[in-house]
Chains A and B, each alone.
Chain A
Amino acid sequence: MNSKVETRDLKKYFQTPTGTLHAVDGVSLKIGERQTLGVVGESGCGKSTLGRLIIKLLGNTDGSLFFDGKDITNIDKKELRELRWKMQMIFQDPYSSVNPRMTVSQIIAEPLKIQNKLTGSEREERVEELMKTVGLDSRYRMTYPHELDGGRRQRISIARALALNPSFIVCDEPVSALDVSIQAQILNLLKDLQDQFGMTFLFISHNLAVVKYISHSIMVMYLGVSVEQCQTEELFGNPLHPYTRALLSAVPVADIHHQKKEIAIKGELTSPINPPPGCRFAPRCPCSSERCFQETPKQKEVKKGHLVACHLYE
């Protein structure tokens, strides 16, 4: 399988007054053409930073990044401009991701206007077409975002992202601010768009059920590190990392006959600033041993296509 996007040992550190924050600390991943990779993790695990690194909204500290097989780690401004037409992002907060001073059609037309390849009337036509694609009634063309609800705003955001036919889209928690009934509409829309246009998605979310629904494969992140990566069915059928297991057991299920296997994990996220050596999850892990606190586990393929970073599986 050809990989659309690939990262090797990608790192992003931020300098803070109290030390170096390891936001993304050596993530390697591959996303196949027309595939969706789901990234799950709790707040502060670096999943949003990862998304921004991949579409180069942020520069990485170390490691390398490939797009369509080409190394894009260090590219010049002109190449970056060309690259950006091909990758887009859909944001979490439908309230802050669109400019409140622009009308719906202005927002959607903005990338077309900047690229400046179409005439005014062609642009109008394209906007109309995009609104149809994402299920926005054309009577909203002249309205401002604040007059629309969260779901419709998210559709504007999606239409804007689609405007230039990108081949890769990072979706950063696109449904977590929406109500369940709207959430399902948007998830279905994203699925349909992928089928229709053959795009590749990196789908970031904290919601395991949502990620399960939309992704082909999943990466579980904990404090800047990928702890487990595999196909979706494999992850839910055979979770290996203790953190993945705890996460799965913690999700409330809307079924009163569901038997909860409680795997309690102690305490809360430790600080990503100047993290000590060893496994990041060790202080909360129910199976941690001496070794976990001294030696950082490497991510290994324990089964075909199933990568885990844990000393238990060596």
Chain B
Amino acid sequence: MQERERLLEIEDLKVEYITDSGVVHAVNGVSFGLDHGEIIGIVGETGAGKTTIALSIMRLLQTPPARMAGGSIRLGGTDILKESKKNMRQIRGKKVSMIFQDPMTALNPLETVGAQVEEVILIHEKLSRVDARKKAVEILEMVGIKGERFQDYPSQFSGGMKQRIVIAIALACRPELLIADEPTTALDVTIQNQVLALIRNLKNELNTSVILITHDLGIVAEMCEKVAVIYAGEIVEFGEIAQIYDHTLHPYTRGLFGSIPNINATADRLQPIPGSMHDPRIEKKGCVFADRCAIRQECCEKEKPELSAAGEGHYVRCFFAS
């Protein structure tokens, strides 16, 4: 693989939510990096902290209740967590953009889609209205929306089309990093396929780096180069997809694979992970996965395993994984 330049470096990120019932450790020491043009998948269940990581990079977390408890996020040399609010407004959209799960609520229903794309361009680039409009049409056509629909309102588009428009807005200013938070969860499979193909093509065309957040290991297999498996706010396994899919190490990752029915094979019985995720308000001394783990030993309850290398670029947070 050719050498690529580092774009994003997250180090020991810690995010907490202060709630009435206690402090929730939503993200607990997450570190990973991303190169230019690379696409990484973040996989995990509800409440694992996936979206919190994404929103931290965007600096879109409401503080309070959220609190950045430590760590750094470096994007192309600048520490995002230290930027001023004003600078962030420039960074968002220009350097990093995000698309959300629900395309129905991501667009302003009272403005034409053309105007919404145009607006983003005008905010970030010094262009005349005419040029901005020209560029907006170009971008909409790039995501497969015909120019004549420029004046249409979001309600006149279907779900898949809306997600295309959301992607157009996100990519209007050619950001270096695109964060896609469950971009196809609200869509049907056939439409999902179209949208994923679009993201993949645009990424190649524009050399954008992508963080793809999903719960679907199938989508990751199709789209990503690297995967971070996240559980209860911690990365439990990280590596290239070949490593994760063919040499699965962490018992949680294995459990995930055992839980999904496979369309190509006939399984007699799924092997689910017993129990459910522990209460994130209670800080755990040992391994976060210990109480659901099939191979736990006494030490797992007492001591927290470190994320350690199990192969080149393959990291796992488990004492007994290898």
Contact of B259 among A152, A180, A247, A268 (CB under 8 A): A180
Contact of A253 among B158, B190, B262, B274 (CB under 8 A): B262
Cβ distance A18 to chain B, nearest Cβ, rounded Å: 13
Give Cα A236 to B262, complex, Å. 12
Q: Closest chain A residue to B274 by CB distance?
A: A185
Give Cα A169 to B246, complex, Å. 39
Chain B residues with a Cβ closer than 8 Å to the other chain, count: 46
Cβ distance B282 to chain A, nearest Cβ, rounded Å: 15
The answer to the question of A114 belonging to the interface, with a C-beta cut-off of 8 Å to chain B, is no
A191 to chain B: which residues have CB within 8 Å? 269
Please state if A206 and B188 are interface contacts (CB–CB under 8 Å).
yes
Q: Which stretch (B79-87, B167-175, B215-223) binds chain A? A: B215-223
Main SS class of interface, B: helix
Q: Closest chain B residue to A246 by CB distance?
A: B190
Return the CB mask of A134-157 against B: 1 if under 8 Å, else 0.
000000000000000111100000
The answer to the question of A43 belonging to the interface, with a C-beta cut-off of 8 Å to chain B, is yes
A181 to chain B: which residues have CB within 8 Å? 45, 255-256, 259, 272-273, 276
Contact of A208 among B192, B257, B263, B271 (CB under 8 A): B263
Please state if B188 and A42 are interface contacts (CB–CB under 8 Å).
yes
Please state if A182 and B218 are interface contacts (CB–CB under 8 Å).
no
Contact of B218 among A152, A251, A269 (CB under 8 A): A251
Cβ distance A314 to chain B, nearest Cβ, rounded Å: 25
Cβ distance B161 to chain A, nearest Cβ, rounded Å: 7
Q: Closest chain B residue to A44 by CB distance?
A: B188
Cβ distance A144 to chain B, nearest Cβ, rounded Å: 15
A208 to chain B: which residues have CB within 8 Å? 189, 263
Return the CB mask of A234-272 against B: 1 if under 8 Å, else 0.
001000000000111011111110101010110011000
Main SS class of interface, A: helix
Please state if A184 and B271 are interface contacts (CB–CB under 8 Å).
yes
B159 to chain A: which residues have CB within 8 Å? 268
B260 to chain A: which residues have CB within 8 Å? 180, 184, 209, 254
Give Cα A283 to B136, complex, Å. 29
Please state if A188 and B190 are interface contacts (CB–CB under 8 Å).
no
Interface size class of A (residues with CB under 8 A): 35 or more
Contact of A183 among B160, B218, B255, B259 (CB under 8 A): B259
Please state if A251 and B263 are interface contacts (CB–CB under 8 Å).
yes
The answer to the question of A179 belonging to the interface, with a C-beta cut-off of 8 Å to chain B, is yes
The answer to the question of A14 belonging to the interface, with a C-beta cut-off of 8 Å to chain B, is no
Cβ distance A56 to chain B, nearest Cβ, rounded Å: 28
Return the CB mask of B232-250 against A: 1 if under 8 Å, else 0.
0000000001100110000
B267 to chain A: which residues have CB within 8 Å? 213
A268 with B218: in contact, given A42-B188, A250-B193 (CB under 8 Å)?
Answer: no
Question: CB within 8 Å of B: which of A99-128?
Answer: none
B217 to chain A: which residues have CB within 8 Å? 180, 254
A209 with B261: in contact, given A260-B222, A268-B160, A269-B158 (CB under 8 Å)?
Answer: yes
A150 to chain B: which residues have CB within 8 Å? 46
B192 to chain A: which residues have CB within 8 Å? 250, 252
Give Cα A180 to B45, complex, Å. 8
B196 to chain A: which residues have CB within 8 Å? 252
A-B contacts, 15 of them at CB < 8 A, read A181-B276, A184-B259, A184-B261, A191-B269, A206-B188, A209-B261, A213-B261, A250-B189, A251-B189, A251-B263, A252-B192, A253-B221, A254-B220, A254-B221, A258-B221
- List residues of A whose CB falls within 8 A of some B CB: 42-43, 149-152, 179-185, 187-188, 191, 206, 208-210, 212-213, 233, 236, 246-248, 250-256, 258, 260, 262, 264-265, 268-269
- List residues of B whose CB falls within 8 A of some A CB: 45-46, 158-161, 188-194, 196, 215-222, 241-242, 245-246, 255-264, 266-267, 269-274, 276-277
